[in-house]
Amino acid sequence: MDSSNKQNFLQKLQGKWQLNSIKQVLLVLLVFALTGFTILFIKQPIFDLLGISMEKGGVWKTILYLLLVLPLYQAVLLLWGFVFGQFSFFWEHEKKFFRRIVGKKN
């Protein structure tokens, strides 16, 4: 991908997310990346602490995974957003996410 395509991609994200600058887009992408890596590293110790092995699948393990990791992901997202000065963007993101879960239109 050449630099003009990268710039175009970042500009599309800037418009979609209604951000003020490409720098802010990069910070938001960094927050998403750090959140993913953080969850990747802390989910296994949490499951080990609870005595849950995720080696073999199962419906109840998938449900438990979603019930534990999804809220943790949302909290870590807000934490990293705060650290990088993007808390308000991620707070709005969280509110939209919650509205979708509960089925509200606004």
Distance CA 76, CA 89 (A): 14
The pTM of this model reads 0.80
Distance CA 41, CA 5 (A): 32
Distance CA 83, CA 65 (A): 26
Which phi and psi (to 5°) does residue 32 adopt? -60, -45
Could you tell me the CA-to-CA distances from 76 to 8, 40, 64, 68, 97 in Å, in that order?
Answer: 29, 12, 18, 13, 15
Domain of 36, in residue numbers: 3-102
Q: pLDDT (tens digit, 0 to 9) for every residue of the chain, 106 residues total?
A: 666 777 799 999 999 999 999 999 999 999 999 999 999 898 888 888 878 777 776 787 778 878 888 889 999 999 999 999 999 999 998 998 888 888 776 5
Give the number of domains in the chain: 1
